[in-house]
Structure 1
Amino acid sequence: MTESYYAGIYWPARLESAEECARRTETFFRLLARCDEMLGRWYEQADSAEEAIQRGFTPNYETLLRFYRAEENQLGKDGFSFSAWTGHVDDGRGSMVRVTCGDASGAYPNCCVLHLPWPEIEPEGARVMTEPVLVNVLRAMVLAWEPVFGVVASDELRWSLRPERDPRGFAGWLTYVSRTRGEVPPLPPPVRTEPIEDKGSLIVLGPERLSASNADHLTLGRRVQEVLDSKGLLRPVLS
């Protein structure tokens, strides 16, 4: 089974201007580009791949501010949305990033989600989909956006560990928990925990990519999730 992996971070309602969102987004792209060369080139979304590949951009503050000020990227009275992709027309999906930020109402949950390449079928996927690279990807996201929860996982793993309508976080291959939620307790081996500066804790379940098709992976994920649940660390982002 080919699983669809992503890196996602989430934070509660937080009013931020277009200028503030542009600054955070610039930081995110700058740090992301250091993780792998694939994540250093970006194109605007369009109605077709042929059109989008003509819309490459440099993710600097001025360009990003222009995007956020555009009417089509504004959400209600506050909040903004923005998406871009890596332009891998021939190789399949590549990577796509989607940002929702600046919303203070909770109507448009703030998040940054990076859809990751398939390691089995994309040339650069095997290189990107490794623990060292993805630790740096999640670190870049946390430092730019200061979320309360983050994860690197597959959609299939998420549904295996939580009922579909359960709003709580879950234990991914990599999991981030903000220090504002409390201290991460000791976890069973081979799990390790490391700080992301003064923001919070990054939990790594192991060097091997966690898969919903692996019974041992699911057992480990459930064990870690039970411990984190017992401390309230995976409560819903909006609570």
Structure 2
Amino acid sequence: MSVAELIKKNRDKFIEENKKFIYNAAYKTCKRNLDWTNDEELSVALIAFNNACNSYSENKGNFFSYTAVIIKNSLIDFFRKSKNTPYLLFDDTSNEIDGDNYLDYKASITQYEIDVENQKRAEEIALFSKELARYKLSLNDLIKSSPSHVDTRSNLLNLALICSANEDILKYIKGKHLLPVSQIAMLTGLRKKYIEKWRRYLLTLILILSSDEYPYIKSYLNIKVGENNGG
């Protein structure tokens, strides 16, 4: 029986049987132990799983691969909108799906599903490249302007997270296709020189984080929650 048929037959049972997968997908993003009765992150992941059941179709590839991306991006959006925004880091660890029930999930992905997912990624990159062009940017600019140190990349990621949750900054960016350096400096207390130095990279991150159009690109960022030593 296909995943679509299982969902249609008894969604509540399907969700209950996959709570371990939901937990593991949330854990991979949050990087800490979670509790079903206390942690809102698991509620977000559960809702994301249910939404994936609604939006999934076979042309989107393997269900669990697709859903893992949806859960991760839902949590990233949750962190972006939360007043108690956690500290985020770029994660260089493996992006394998955990869970004893899904150890063989890769083997279940057919070549057709791989081709479909690759096509979706290509379409998303093409869409993002088109948006970058409106800001006189390109993916090559992003590569060239990317910081070499992971700490700098993570600091800029968190700066982009703050900016992507600020309506005034987003309105300025979308309206003028420019980064409001002075406005960001006033909001964060950072020096204009620092913001200007990373202008292209920061603007690109804000465009990614503030949009729902780029689930695969967000997944490529390999974002995880870390400890903010600053308190």
The alignment's TM-score, normalised by the length of structure 2, stands at 0.31
The structure showing larger relative contact order (alpha-carbon pairs under 8 Å, at least 6 residues apart) is 2
Q: More strand per residue: 1 or 2?
A: 1
The alignment's TM-score, normalised by the length of structure 1, stands at 0.30
Bigger Rg over Cα: 2
